[in-house]
Amino acid sequence: MAGRSFRGLQVVAVMRAQDSAVDGSADASRALVAFDPIGRCAEHLETSTFQGWKTWYVDRADDAREIVQREGILVGIAVIDRTMGKDLAQLEALGADGICEWIAIANAESIADSVVRNLVVRLFHDYHTWPVDSIRLRQCIGHAWGKARLRRDAFRDDSQPEQYGMIGRSAPMLALYRRIERIVQVDAPVLIAGESGSGKELVARAIHRHSLRSKGPFVAVNCGAFPSGLIQSELFGHERGAFTGAHQRKTGSIEAASGGVLFLDEIGDLPIEHQVNLLRVLQERIIHRVGSTQAIDVDLRVVAASHVDLQQAVDAGRFREDLHYRLNVLHVEVPPLRDRGADIALLAERLFQRFASERRGNAKGFGDDALRALEAHHWPGNVRELANRVHQAVVMSERRLLSAADLGLASVEDSPGGHSLSHARLSLDRSIIDRSLRMNGNNVTRTARQLGISRVTLHRMLNRLNIRA
């Protein structure tokens, strides 16, 4: 079995058998459940390797991701090989998201390959080479599991709904935190994509605050905010007398950001004729102030954000491909609010508390129809829109419990076709909560935690759905 090279991808997702026990108590048998259609791990690993771990065997990265998410799995094992080609790219997504820790198994030639090596260094907790020392692998699984559990508990901690200054514990937000966690450990350029108001600037500030450059400045420039004639001097600065009206020497944003982070917001709005100058900065790390021939060294990390799809802008000839390539070394996608599930209510509650503490009013919280409307709304303006609606409602409403109308939203029952939609939602809510309660032995705290909502919200939903825990 030594040194065998495997084509294709095999991913084994592992969880402690006791974690899957229905009532949370230890599973006495700690049986190994192995689904292994190709039979490679089963063939080449000692049977005792995964003993005590409930084990799924899959041969597609998509399936691995689905199982990891569905079962809340904390440790994954990926058998990788340099002949995998496209599958290696799929592993990229697996390793970068969520809280699961991944362990690679590869043969020595594969590890010597720079693509595989890079992937392993960036994304994996550890790696093993064939022939695998099963004792070492078992220890490694234990360590990885412990580490992932710590991370999961930190994310789930009700007293800590924020990570990196952002509120949210939904799966897409956990994936975002995980990405940030990795990004702050390196110094490469970052491109942040996401709809307007979704939190791109918060992410940029978090990257600065948690990176090695946190002691240096954070300088934000909105690339769409300046007329074309002024951008050059805004970014690069100018000497006195460089042009009419340049009465004083001015330090540009790039120079001001030296030692820290330059945040180029709305980079898609940077006129194409200025893009080449920025490209040069990224390549050569020197600038010239307008009206000067003196080269100034700059040492900065560029974090750019755009709500427009830059690849499309490249295709349309509005954005230089080489600049896109330089900026997009590390990519972050901030999820739209509508995809964040229970985070919508969580954010609404937090924003409500913030605004209500600024003003003594009647409102004590949200009514049921408001919560339903928050959940059903499409949120084109994302978190900023939510904040505005909650602020407006807190200031204007005379009610004890804010209604959908206070938030400027249609009541779900009122909207055309709303009746059937709300019915569908209620029955879906009921079945999910029912199942989770059963899995958690009717324990409300554990159920709320599993569903990613607060106990208060769960109690409210139990009342509304007429479920007795």
Q: Which residues bind ligand ATP (CB under 6 A)?
A: 166-168, 194, 196-202, 307, 347, 383-384, 387
CB of 348 to ligand ATP, least distance (A): 11
Binding at 61: pick from ligand ATP, Mg ion, none (beta carbon under 5-8 Å per type): none
Q: Which of 46, 113, 126, 201 binds Mg ion (CB under 5 A)?
A: 201
- Nearer to ligand ATP by Cβ, of 120 and 203: the residue is 203
- Nearer to Mg ion by Cβ, of 59 and 201: the residue is 201
Q: Six-digit token pair at 372?
A: 């339903």
Contact between residue 350 and residue 342 where contact means Cβ atoms under 8 Å apart: no
Q: Which DSSP category does 257 fall into?
A: T
Binding at 198: pick from ligand ATP, Mg ion, none (beta carbon under 5-8 Å per type): ligand ATP
- C-alpha separations of 69 from 45, 87, 182 in Å: 25, 19, 20
Angle at 353 between CA 347 and CA 358, to 5 degrees: 130
Q: Which of the stretches 83-91, 124-132, 198-206, 319-327 binds Mg ion when contact is defined by CB under 5 A?
A: 198-206
Q: Reply yes or no: is the peptide bond before residue 131 cis, omega within 30 of 0.
A: yes
Nearest-Å Rg of the Cα atoms of the chain is 26
CB of 346 to ligand ATP, least distance (A): 9
Binding at 84: pick from Mg ion, ligand ATP, none (beta carbon under 5-8 Å per type): none
CB of 192 to ligand ATP, least distance (A): 8
- Nearer to Mg ion by Cβ, of 201 and 368: the residue is 201
Binding at 383: pick from ligand ATP, Mg ion, none (beta carbon under 5-8 Å per type): ligand ATP
CB of 201 to Mg ion, least distance (A): 4
How many Å apart are CA 445 and CA 435, to the nearest integer?
A: 15
Say what the alpha-carbon torsion angle 235, 238, 243, 246 is, to the nearest 10 degrees.
110
- Nearer to ligand ATP by Cβ, of 58 and 166: the residue is 166
- Nearer to ligand ATP by Cβ, of 73 and 180: the residue is 180
State the number of binding residues for Mg ion (CB under 5 A).
Answer: 1
How many Å apart are CA 264 and CA 323, to the nearest integer?
A: 13
- Nearer to ligand ATP by Cβ, of 300 and 347: the residue is 347
Binding at 179: pick from ligand ATP, Mg ion, none (beta carbon under 5-8 Å per type): none
Strand partners, 288: 295
* Element containing residue 305 per DSSP (H, E): strand 301-306
- Nearer to ligand ATP by Cβ, of 105 and 257: the residue is 257
Contact between residue 122 and residue 204 where contact means Cβ atoms under 8 Å apart: no
How many Å apart are CA 59 and CA 70, to the nearest integer?
A: 17
Q: Which residue is nearest to ligand ATP (CB)?
A: 199
How many Å apart are CA 251 and CA 245, to the nearest integer?
A: 15
Q: Which residues bind Mg ion (CB under 5 A)?
A: 201
